[in-house]
């Protein structure tokens, strides 16, 4: 079995030097060849990281514990259908709050305006081509060809890829139709 060590660096504020990043570095498995002992090596690294948070960043560690309980609570209340508006509101707030903390995409009005301007420009050029060439064709199909990848890119930015980025992570179950 072979393994290349990866370096994991703490990005939290330094516990004793305000204004500085902690920067503590940990060596651990980056690429694992699946086999005996592979899960244990990852577990050992995670234990080191958690111990560092517990001893060097206790406030952050406490926040993680509270947020873990929030997520557990969300999973519990999502298992039930309810007519109780307060429980529905709490469930929606927990889901929204967790989503905001884990959101990987940021689509500002400026970014969206720039994307829409680019799409409009592409459609305008496509329309000019159709008008100048005198060709008979399906203008709507051409516009759809321009719009579809742009809308898909926005979807992908918001939803992130369907498959987990880690090939060793559990894969989502196939949905039967």
The structure tokens listed for 29 are 């498995």
Residues 47-73: tens digit of each pLDDT: 999 999 999 999 999 999 999 999 999
Q: What is the pLDDT of residue 50?
A: 94
Which carries the bigger pLDDT value, residue 13 or residue 163? 13
Residues 97-113: tens digit of each pLDDT: 888 888 777 778 898 89
Q: What is the pLDDT of residue 155?
A: 81
Asked if pLDDT for residue 130 goes beyond 90, the answer is no
Residues 142-169: tens digit of each pLDDT: 888 888 988 888 888 777 665 655 555 5
Tell me the mean pLDDT in the region 114-124: 89
Average pLDDT value over all residues in the chain: 81
The structure tokens listed for 104 are 């990987």
Per-domain residue ranges of the chain: 1-56, 59-103, 109-159
């Amino acid at each position: 079995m072979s393994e290349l060590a990866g370096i994991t660096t703490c990005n939290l504020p330094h516990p004793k030097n305000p204004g500085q990043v902690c920067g503590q570095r940990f060596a651990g498995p980056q690429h694992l060849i699946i086999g005996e002992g592979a899960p244990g090596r990852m577990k050992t690294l995670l234990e080191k990281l958690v111990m560092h948070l517990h001893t060097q960043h206790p406030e952050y560690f406490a926040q993680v514990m509270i947020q873990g309980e929030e997520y557990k609570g969300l999973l519990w209340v999502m298992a039930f259908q309810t007519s109780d508006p307060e429980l529905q509101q709490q469930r929606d707030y927990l889901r929204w709050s967790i989503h905001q903390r884990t959101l990987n995409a940021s689509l500002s009005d400026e970014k969206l305006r720039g994307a829409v301007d680019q799409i409009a420009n592409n459609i305008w050029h496509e329309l000019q081509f159709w008008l100048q060439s005198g060709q008979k064709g399906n203008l709507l199909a051409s516009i759809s060809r321009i719009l579809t990848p742009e809308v898909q890119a926005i979807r992908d930015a918001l939803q992130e890829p369907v498959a987990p980025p880690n090939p060793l992570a559990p894969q989502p179950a196939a949905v039967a139709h």
